[in-house]
Chains A and B, each alone.
Chain A
Amino acid sequence: GDSVTQMEGPVTLSEEAFLTINCTYTATGYPSLFWYVQYPGEGLQLLLKATKADDKGSNKGFEATYRKETTSFHLEKGSVQVSDSAVYFCALDDYKLSFGAGTTVTVRA
């Protein structure tokens, strides 16, 4: 079945550091790929998505590129802020969402 594997955390960074969270997937079809974020005390929010190979999703300074050849969708941000502290989930959608285990990111001032 479809599955997502993402980098385990927790990850602790200083402000303005570079963030990357690795995500790889296994799917029989051609799913859409997503990154969801859960800020403290809030629900899951869609951060960005890509629907086909080589698409780049971007939002709030975060980027991820759909790499079919490596079955990856790594999340990156060049300069993180304290407000980026959250749990990040990689997910694929082949008519229902399959999530990774989540990566907890803490950014310290």
Chain B
Amino acid sequence: EAGVTQFPSHSVIEKGQTVTLRCDPISGHDNLYWYRRVMGKEIKFLLHFVKESKQDESGMPNNRFLAERTGGTYSTLKVQPAELEDSGVYFCASSSTTGRDTEAFFGQGTRLTVV
């Protein structure tokens, strides 16, 4: 069974450009999460989808970030326009259920560099 897949693995863009990150969760997982690790600091929660609905988007830093999950399958995270401080590693995770004991399965991450 395929794990969580993220595309691209690396992206280098100029400040002011747009970048779209994609995440394909494990098939059948209704829950999809985005996280971000900036400058070697802690990994921070961005948002949580249940199927196609945003359950919790409290971690989204500002309105330059837009996440979608059309049809409840894959998800995209668009950054427009990108700023230098957006550089970091963006992780996607999925799980079959929610709750305190639920194991989330993570992708390899997308390393975004804004220059």
Contacts and interface: CB of A to CB of B under 8 A. Distances in A.
Given A43-B4, A44-B106, A45-B106, A99 B100 contact: no
Interface in B82-115: 91, 93, 98-104, 106-109
B1 interface: no
A86 interface: no
B100 A96 contact: no
Given A101-B40, A101-B41, A43 B109 contact: yes
A4 B42 contact: yes
B43 A99 contact: yes
B16 interface: no
A43 B107 contact: yes
Interface string B23-57: 00000000001010100111111001000000010
Interface string A46-75: 100101000000000000000000000000
A18 to B, nearest CB: 25
A99 B107 contact: no
B contact face: mostly helix, strand, loop, or mixed: loop
A51 B100 contact: yes
Interface in A8-41: 31-32, 36, 41
Contact of A43 (B3, B48, B103): B3
B1 to A, nearest CB: 15
A7 B108 CA distance: 24
Nearest to A90: B42
A96 B42 contact: no
B42 A101 contact: yes
Contacts of B42: 4, 98-102
15 contacts: A31-B100, A36-B106, A41-B108, A43-B3, A43-B107, A43-B109, A44-B91, A51-B101, A93-B101, A93-B102, A97-B35, A99-B42, A101-B42, A102-B37, A102-B42
Interface of A: 4, 31-32, 36, 41-46, 49, 51, 89, 91, 93-102
